[in-house]
Chains A and B, each alone.
Chain A
Amino acid sequence: MSGRVAIVGAGCTPFGEHFDLSYTDLAAAACREALGEAGMRPRDVGAAWLGTAFPDVGVFRGRSGMDLVEALGLGACPVTRVSNYCATGGDAIRNAANALLAGDCDIALAVGVEKQRDRPPQESIVKLMVETGHPYYQKGFTAAGTFAVFAVRRMKEFGLKREDLAAVSVKNHAHAAGNPRAHHRKAVTVEQVLASAPVAWPLTLLDCCPTTDGAAAVVLVREEDAKKYPGRVLVAGVGFAVTSGWDAPFHDPAFDFIGFPAVREAARIAYARAGIGNPARDVHVAEVHDCFTINELIACEDLGFCGRGESAKLIADGVTKLGGKLPVNPGGGLLSCGHPVGATGVRMVHDVVRQLQGKAGKCQVPGARVGLTQNIGGPGAVAFVSVLTT
């Protein structure tokens, strides 16, 4: 497949506990903003991809493309539901881009929506882990534990300290103070992170993203059709990889619990397509998947921002904070924005679009022309990486 696509409209709801908004309300709000920026009406959309990871947490909304047709009054439109764990949003964008390049449609809409707070937080994904799924494998694990085992292994391999993890939370919460769409906008200290409730050793509550409602959407067209849209952002390269099943990494004798092969593979593909030779130098701003603090440290290494085992130093040196050489999660990341699962990958792309447009407000990275998003799913076995340019 040749050619490239561009984003000509992006939208994102505030992330938070939207007790007054339904799944379809959230989907509609994000899509209207994205379509509005592109000067389009809903029925201009040629095809759409609707990303929702866990419809069973709510009232089954998001199980099928039907729920987007209803939310936007699309009439008749080919809408595909996308589900790939926490990388659902990224996968929705990838499918939209591929359909444009295949000539299936001329205007594609990629949407991510997750309505988690129709239940108390612990009744959502923790409950899913405890009450459903395989009756024996991984029973006792939560999402936090899934990644905490990487932190413990890194403590042994690289001398990772508890405070190194907390530094990610401190940085991203500080960034979120300038992001009006973030779920939590309050700065935290290392001491507060360490003193917060234990979740999965060594992770505590402030090492974990909250349970959040939200939706995000982007409108895409082929590069040659994008010229008339002044705010367009080019999708320079997308990489996507799925490397194993859900239980496999924890039963794989060769798995090192240091990084994610899927991320390295997705990054390799995206960098090759976008012509990124040295990501630490060529990328100006990055949105990475910090569902837990440990994940940002791993992401920085898997994406090539630093060498293996060097991410704690990278953050300690201030490289990845706003004002540093390569700001990571300048809007606060998942830790502060929250993680409406299907929406997250699309939210990241929305945020980088705003950065490249120079419209990121207090979170703006001055002069950013090349941005990256990284979205992972499952036990890190699903990974999406995109490189966006002006």
Chain B
Amino acid sequence: MTISEGPSILAVAARIPPYELRAADVARACGRPPGPGSRRFGSWDEDAFTLAFAAADRCLDVAGRPEVRSLLVASTTWPQAVAPQAERLATALDLKPDVETATLAGSLRGGVAALRIALGGARLPALVVAAERMDRPAGNDAEASVGDAGVAILVGHGGFARLERWTTRSEAAAWDSADVRFLQEQAARLVSGAPREGCSRAAISAPGSRLARAAAQKLGLPGTDAAMDRIGFCGAAHPLLALVEAMEGARPGEPVLWAACTEGLDAAVLHVTGAAVGKSFAEGLERATPVAEYGKWLASRRFFETEASREVFRSPAMEHRDEEHLLRLHAAKCKACGRLDALPGPCCPACGEPRGTGRVPLRRTGTVFTFTHESYVPTPWPPVTMAVVDLDGGGRILVPAADVSPEAVRIGLRVRLVLRRLHMGGGVPNYYWKAVPE
């Protein structure tokens, strides 16, 4: 089909967590011969939902916060089998309640399918988000071959990039074989059905680096694959991550073949007509924090299993009542004295006037006013830094900090609020805002 006049891509963003685990460090800890490669992983408080939020939030920033009409989110590693992932994301992004939402799960093709639906028939603008927190068994050779990432693509009219000649082939053949030679052959066969005419480069996604290489070899087109080499295979998010990588690296007027080999084939020709707004993929790759201690990595993955015994109080009724404050991060604005208050309550603490119903969104950037490092609070990576943050435009909030070493925290530090896991009260992830360095 030709979609030149149809929907295009308005903005993209990737959330690539900074923490890096090298295969060699895994091997050393487990007494194995060292292997090549490294993976990226999110801190102990990151999961598919928080990675999805970070990518989506950045993407909307890049696009200038348009009113999103559809939200499609995909992962194979949602932290709960049944939960309102898309709806929770829509609320945290402060989208309007009439946004159309869909959560895709259980298939590596989820991210690709969400993008196909957005381009083909969703209410626009449509925000497509895919994220994964990928794990392989501890001590396994493949432990560092998968990665964590989030990626978001905003689809609408008049964007900077188009996908044309989309080709789809559905196959029931399972990809869970341990026979790499068999899978390489499948990937090579599938990719030969891609619309490669006129393309001088390729961005190929397949479930594993050897499979992707086999497919690329078959095509004979040059391409980069930093997503696979340096982040690791990111499940349903990987094809979209490869697409974002290709967009950031593409030159206008140079079509790129994009192909995803999983549960069949999805492939299209990418035309980038303008400069990609933002370089979140390249910047994310650049910002790496190696974690050489295998125990520290393991603690970040196992924490909530051990912490589950701590029964933190949770109340869905309270969450519902205070959703506007907790998840949308709106503040009450006093009609009498103008003060912005992040906390809900019937009256303004400053002047005592009843509040009424007026709420305004708080900005999610700000400056640390004071802080402390808590050593007695249970956490896999002690200490927990707690920061009092003055938000740009008014309002103050007390939140934990994340992705920052204690030595780097100081009064005046510029931070941004992101959603992270706070605890597992009620046996489910409870998300709240945390401050990360801007």
Contacts and interface: CB of A to CB of B under 8 A. Distances in A.
Whether both chains belong to one complex is answered with: yes
Interface of A: 122, 126, 130-133, 135-142, 144-145, 148-150, 152-153, 156, 197-201, 203, 244-245, 247-248, 250-255, 257
Given A132-B313, A149-B388, A253 B396 contact: yes
Interface stretch (B30-38, B132-140, B234-242, B372-380): B372-380
Interface core residue of B315, B386, B406 (most chain A CB under 10 Å): B386
A242 B437 CA distance: 36
B386 A131 contact: no
Nearest to B379: A140
Interface stretch (B87-95, B104-112, B337-345): B337-345
Nearest to A255: B396
Nearest to A139: B422
A152 B411 contact: yes
A122 B423 CA distance: 18
Contacts of A141: 374, 377, 386, 398
Contacts of B383: 198, 201
Contacts of B249: none
A312 to B, nearest CB: 18
Given A136-B430, A152-B411, A198-B373, A252 B340 contact: no
Interface of B: 310-315, 318-319, 326, 339-343, 345, 349-350, 369-378, 383-384, 386, 388, 390, 394-398, 400, 406, 411, 422-423, 425, 430, 432
4 closest Cβ contacts across the A-B interface? A250-B398, A148-B372, A201-B373, A153-B370
B343 A251 contact: yes
B312 A130 contact: yes
A137 B398 contact: yes
Given A199-B376, A244-B349, A257 B370 contact: yes
Given A198-B373, A198-B375, A257 B386 contact: no
Given A130-B312, A198-B375, A201-B383, A149 B394 contact: no
Contacts of B373: 198, 200-201
Contacts of A144: 372, 374, 376
A142 B386 CA distance: 10
A135 B426 CA distance: 10
A126 B411 contact: no
B422 A126 contact: no
A149 B372 contact: yes
A131 B343 contact: no
Given A140-B386, A141-B386, A251-B398, A126 B376 contact: yes
A198 B342 CA distance: 31
A144 B345 CA distance: 26
Contacts of A153: 369-370, 411
A242 to B, nearest CB: 12
Nearest to B371: A152
Interface residue SS majority, chain B? mixed
A197 B345 CA distance: 38
Contacts of A132: 313
A286 B52 CA distance: 56
Contacts of A142: 374, 376-377
A149 B370 contact: yes
Given A135-B314, A135-B425, A253-B396, A145 B372 contact: yes
B434 to A, nearest CB: 9
A129 B375 CA distance: 14
Contact of B318 (A135, A150, A197): A135
Given A138-B398, A140-B384, A248-B343, 20 more contacts: A131-B311, A135-B318, A135-B423, A135-B430, A139-B312, A139-B400, A139-B422, A140-B374, A141-B374, A198-B375, A198-B383, A200-B373, A203-B372, A245-B345, A245-B349, A248-B349, A250-B397, A252-B350, A253-B390, A255-B396
Nearest to A148: B372
A149 B385 CA distance: 11
A130 B398 contact: no
B188 to A, nearest CB: 51
A247 B343 CA distance: 8
A137 B422 CA distance: 10
Contacts of A257: 369-370, 388
A135 B377 CA distance: 14
A255 B370 CA distance: 11
A122 B376 contact: yes
Contacts of B350: 252, 254
A156 B409 CA distance: 13
B4 to A, nearest CB: 48
16 contacts: A130-B312, A136-B326, A136-B422, A139-B312, A139-B423, A141-B386, A144-B374, A149-B372, A152-B371, A199-B376, A250-B396, A250-B398, A251-B341, A252-B396, A253-B340, A254-B350
Nearest to A138: B398
Contact of B395 (A149, A150, A253): A253
A135 B315 contact: yes
B369 A131 contact: no
Contacts of A122: 376
A131 B313 contact: yes
A199 B375 contact: yes
Given A148-B372, A149-B388, A253 B377 contact: no
Contacts of A152: 370-372, 411
A231 B211 CA distance: 91
A250 B341 CA distance: 11
Contacts of A245: 345, 349
Contacts of B314: 135
B377 A130 contact: yes
Given A130-B312, A135-B430, A145 B386 contact: yes
A121 to B, nearest CB: 10
A173 B422 CA distance: 38
Contact of A135 (B310, B312, B343, B372): B312
B419 to A, nearest CB: 11
Nearest to B398: A250
Interface core residue of B318, B339, B376, B377 (most chain A CB under 10 Å): B376
A132 to B, nearest CB: 5
Contacts of A150: 370
A253 B422 contact: no
A136 B350 CA distance: 23
A144 B425 CA distance: 23
Contacts of A199: 374-376
Given A198-B375, A200-B376, A130 B343 contact: no
Contacts of A201: 372-373, 375, 383, 406
B384 to A, nearest CB: 5
A283 to B, nearest CB: 30
Nearest to B314: A135
Interface core residue of B349, B397, B422 (most chain A CB under 10 Å): B349
Contacts of A254: 339, 350
